[in-house]
Structure formats: structure tokens, C-alpha cells
Homo-oligomer: A and B are copies of this chain.
Amino acid sequence: MVYPRPVSTSDPSPSTQPAKPILRALDGEAVSPAPIWLMRQAGRYLAEYRALRESAPDFLTTCYTPDLATEITLQPIRRFGLDAAILFSDILVIPDALGQSVQFAKGEGPMLEPIGPGDVASLQPDRLAGHLAPVFETVGRVKAELDPKTTLIGFAGAPWTLAAYMAEGGGSKDFATARSWAAGDPESFQQLIDLLTGAVIDMLRHQLDAGADCVQLFDSWAGILSAADFETWCVRPAAAIVGALAQSHPGVPVIGFPRGAGYLYGTYVEKTGCAGLQIDHGVPLDQAARLQRNVTVQGNLDPVLLLAGGEAMTAQIRAIRGALGGGPHIFNLGHGVMPPTPPDHVAELVEVVRQADP
């Protein structure tokens, strides 16, 4: 099934463009076998990643060192021949670039010097391009190394999720501080969201200019918002980002991931115009198939099935392809690869996906 999609207004030298399976899927094509990549496909579950990190500087400096970030980005591609590489970086490079203190202590989550309404004016969006130049250099280096069939995915954290970490000072079960700020002083919170929306657009444009084929927008904490706040803090900024990229980089697809959106995934697709939708593993397959009528669906194997491997994983891979194989689908997990996952299970997953379609 190829579903209607606005015709791209710019398709530079289509005859010389390789037919990257992920871009074909994002263009609405039911590609078979399904192209596949995995969220957190580069990371701690790989021995070569752990080895590299042992002698590497701290986590953020690693993100800002093109030699290291390029190598980490490519590690899972070499091992598994996945259909996409995703830039190795972190969503919190944006607050770091804006001048907020961000640290990753070993074995802990990220720690930020929390900001409040009075701090928004002191954030420095003009620093972003300079501060993140090494990240964009990494994009270019990875691109030069990739097989022409392999898609390079850039990414950014979405404004709400970034704001949540920035206000809270780190991870949280419910981001009560951030949500209280948004409810109690929506004007200043809107200023923060607007500033971040601009920063995300800036960040993603630089990645596209450096060679990314498409981008993914991670709104990891969309699921804790009320339905009304989801529209205000998640959908509206995402729509602005998709719209801005469509102007500067027409035809380049954006994959949105408002994690945990539940009933609201459909609204997100309708109102943002994203070409791809990453769904978490809580979305039942009949609903995923319904969403697929309007968007390329990416997902949604439960990462614990990849951790467990074997028959349970294989059965669910077949169920997912059975439900979504007739439309545009990119195989992925519903959340990131879990650190204790055996790499052999990833190899098995890729093999099964590539043989799953009848």
C-alpha cells in the first residue's frame, strides 16, 4: 500500500539517489522485508562500546569528540548491518549548548542545575551552532562512512522533554516541578518552550545540512502530560518543528516519538504532519494498523522480548509484521535496547525480520 502524501517540492537529482529502504518506507511504501534499526542500538550492551568508553573521557565529552562519536555510531552497523545509523549523542546537549550546567555522573542519570521562570532569559540560543559544531562534524563523518543504502538519522529531544529535564534538574517519575511550573506560570513556560523549539529547529537543520537523511524527535515524557497539555506542550512545538524543516529542507521526513501518548498518537500525527511515527510497545497492533493509514509506523517490539530472545521474540516479530506488513513500516523496538541484552539476540532479531515476510 502506498498512501497519499504531498509531493516533495525538491528532490535533488533523484536518478542518482540510492533507494534507501527506510526513506522509501517514510515515503509511504510498504517495503518488504521491513527495514530495521533499533533505538539505543549503540550503547552499553555492546562489548566494543564498553571497551571504547573505558578509556574515553566523560559522557558529554565523548558526544563532542567526532572520532569517538563516529566510531560508536558505526559499531552496531558493522555488527548487524542495520538499515539506519542514528547519530550517537544525547538529547541534553541542547541545554548544555544553551549554557545550563549538565553533568552525567557514572551510574547515575543526568544532573542539571535546575532552572526556573527567572532563568529563561539567560539561556543563550546563539551559542548552539558553535557549541554543537563537533556533533554536526560527527554527522558528516558518519555519512562518509555509510553504505549508500543505509539511512543516517539525526535527532533531537523535543521541547517538552528538554524543558522537563531542565526544570527538574534530572530524571523524575512524574516531573512534578516542570509540570507545576507549566500549570502555575504558563507564560514563562511558553517562553522556555518557544526558545527550545527554535533551538531544536536550529539543531536539526545543522544535522540535515551535515548529511542526515531524516530526523527523529524524541518526546520521551509526553506520556505524563494531560490531554490538554499534550496539545500545548508536545503537539504544537512538534508541528512548528515539522513545519520549519519542511520550509528549509523540503521533502525531508521527520519521525515523531511522543512516547506513551496512548489515545493521542493519532492527534499527534494529524496535527504535526510528521512522516513517521515511532510507537511504544503499549500500542496494540490493531491500533498501530489504524495509525498506519495516515503515517509510516515505526516500532514496536517490547525490548524485554529482545532481552529474552527465542520463541517469544520470534512470535511477536511475526505478529507485528502480520499486522503492519501491508503498509509503510520500519521495524524497531517500543523503547531503547536494554543494557543487559545479549548482542546475539539483536543478530537473531535482524535475521528473523528479514525472513519474516511471506
Which positions in A face B, CB cutoff 8 Å? 171, 173-174, 176, 179-180, 182-184, 186, 223-230, 260-264, 267, 281-285, 287, 302, 304-305, 307-308, 312, 316, 334-335, 338, 340
Contact = CB atoms under 8 A, between A and B. Distances in A.
Contact of A183 (B171, B283, B312): B312
A302 B174 contact: no
Given A186-B312, A262-B262, A264-B282, 10 more contacts: A180-B307, A180-B338, A183-B304, A183-B308, A184-B307, A226-B282, A226-B302, A227-B284, A262-B263, A262-B283
Contact of A260 (B171, B260, B283, B287): B260
Contacts of A305: 183, 226
28 contacts: A173-B173, A174-B335, A176-B304, A179-B302, A180-B308, A180-B338, A180-B340, A183-B302, A183-B308, A183-B312, A184-B304, A184-B308, A186-B312, A223-B223, A223-B260, A226-B281, A226-B302, A227-B281, A227-B284, A228-B316, A260-B260, A260-B262, A260-B282, A261-B262, A261-B282, A262-B262, A263-B284, A264-B284
Nearest to A309: B184
Q: What 8 pairs between A and B have smallest CB-CB spacing?
A: A262-B262, A227-B284, A226-B302, A183-B308, A183-B304, A226-B281, A184-B308, A179-B304
Nearest to A335: B174
A285 B338 CA distance: 35
B227 A283 contact: yes
> Which of A227, A308, A316, A335 counts the most chain B CB atoms within 10 A?
A227
Contacts of A223: 223, 260, 282
Contacts of A171: 173
A230 B285 CA distance: 13
B304 A282 contact: no
Contact of A176 (B180, B229, B261, B338): B338
Contacts of A230: 282
Nearest to A315: B228
Identify whether the interface residues of A are mostly helix, strand, loop, or mixed.
helix
Nearest to A316: B228
Given A282-B223, A282-B262, A284-B263, A229 B302 contact: yes
A184 B342 CA distance: 13
A77 to B, nearest CB: 26
Nearest to A290: B263
Nearest to A182: B304
A353 B267 CA distance: 29
Nearest to A264: B284
A179 B186 CA distance: 37
Contact of A263 (B182, B225, B287, B312): B287
Contacts of A302: 179, 183, 226, 228-229
